[in-house]
Copies of this chain bind each other. A is one copy, B any other.
Amino acid sequence: MTADERRASVLAVAVQEFARGGLAGTSTEVIAKRAGISQPYLFRLYPTKKDLFLTAVRDTFARTVRRFEQAAGELSGQPALTAIGLSYQELLRDRTYLLMQLQAYASCTDPDIRTATRTGFRDLWRAVERLSGVPSEALRGFFAHGMLMNVAAAMDLPSLSEEWARLVCLAAPSAED
């Protein structure tokens, strides 16, 4: 297996593990073990643990942009936004994505991570703006509800049957914005 292929499979594992434990709460050893390589070799593929984390952050946002582009297809305007919203709901089924996103936000005290996270978020924002073309208030409403769904999914509210939890998790009314 070439180094680049290894790097890709290590990254796939790293995203999952970092999503669960964050930068400080994840050891390079478990990433290496799950990726099927030795821990020293991990450090030849990625110079530092933080580098691997930064790559995971960038990858997470980049994947979402590509997903949104596919979801929008030839649509534009509110229909495009609705299609993107639906694809986001699908994305949240696997909690890895949103947890990784939250880890990125929560680690923004570190300047390097903050820069990477800002860039990822900005590109995502611009992608939705470009794909849908809706005005900025609608865009903000879209992202706001996305963030609420993130934390709701993080707390696993969809699995609760209590009244308040169901209210939090209802999809945003598409007519409002």
- Asked if A168 is an interface residue, CB under 8 A from chain B, the answer is yes
- Asked if A21 is an interface residue, CB under 8 A from chain B, the answer is yes
Oligomer: number of copies: 2
- Asked if A137 is an interface residue, CB under 8 A from chain B, the answer is yes
- Asked if A47 is an interface residue, CB under 8 A from chain B, the answer is no
Report B-chain residues with C-beta under 8 Å of the C-beta of A102.
102, 105-106
Task: Say what secondary structure dominates the interface of chain A.
Answer: helix
B106 adjacent to A155 (CB under 8 Å): no
Partner among B109, B141, B156, B165 whose Cβ is within 8 Å of the Cβ of A176: B141
Q: Which residue of B lies closest to A119 (CB)?
A: B155
Report B-chain residues with C-beta under 8 Å of the C-beta of A126.
164
- Asked if A88 is an interface residue, CB under 8 A from chain B, the answer is no
Nearest CB of B to A104, in Å: 9
Report B-chain residues with C-beta under 8 Å of the C-beta of A168.
125, 140, 143
Cα distance, A27 to B172, chains bound together (Å) = 40
Residues 161-177 (chain A) with a chain B CB within 8 angstroms: 162, 164-165, 167-168, 170, 172-173, 176-177
A-B contact pairs, 13 of them (CB 8 A): A22-B107, A99-B106, A99-B109, A103-B106, A114-B156, A118-B157, A118-B160, A122-B162, A140-B167, A144-B145, A147-B147, A147-B148, A176-B177
Besides A136-B170, A147-B147, 9 more A-B contacts (Cβ < 8 Å) are A99-B108, A118-B157, A121-B155, A126-B164, A129-B164, A140-B145, A140-B168, A141-B141, A144-B172
